[in-house]
Amino acid sequence: MGVVNLARVDERLIHGQVMLTLSKRNGVNSIFVVDDVVAKDKFMKDLYKSAGSRTGQKTIVMTEEKCKYYWDEFEFKEYSCILITKSVKGIYNLVTHGVPMKDLNIGGIAKKSDDDVLVTKSVYLNKEDAKLLKELNEEHGVENIYFQATPSSPLSSLQDVLKQFDL
């Protein structure tokens, strides 16, 4: 049975030194990029697979539905992956479907509306996403949710971020 070694929300998906560093995490042998738009665009899919291969890890790009299927049918085989999505909702959908994960890193989310709040240097959240993260932590077994753009940048806890939304 495979395992999600680390889940990450980052709109940039795979990029630069961040993935090189994270891919060295103990036990990681693959990167799963879960994004419907990227998975359906051959050029973008090949681009992300190429970027991921520079980390030395097998990189698989798939849609959210394919990821759910791959978990249901194969339990991610023997992969110990870093699973990356562009959105909190994407991770939420996977976890509530049954894909287990303990650690969730929120790395980079851009501002999309006036309702979005800058919660760390590189992350904007709206109240709906904050509630989803709280639910993942309290009801779905995602034990360690933290905000950190790069492994060397300061870390903010979910509890600290939720205070900004009175949650």
- The 10s digit of each residue's pLDDT in 79-99 is 999 999 999 999 999 999 999
Domains in the chain, CATH or no CATH each:
3-163 (3.40.35.10)
Amino acid at 4: V
Check pLDDT > 90 for residue 21. no
> Tens of pLDDT along 53-66?
888 899 999 999 99
Phi-psi map region of 75: left, alpha, beta (phi>0 left; psi -120 to 50 alpha): left
- Rounded CA-CA distance 94/109 in Å is 18
More confident residue, 157 or 23: 157
Average pLDDT over residues 9-36: 89
* Three-class secondary structure of residue 74 per DSSP: helix
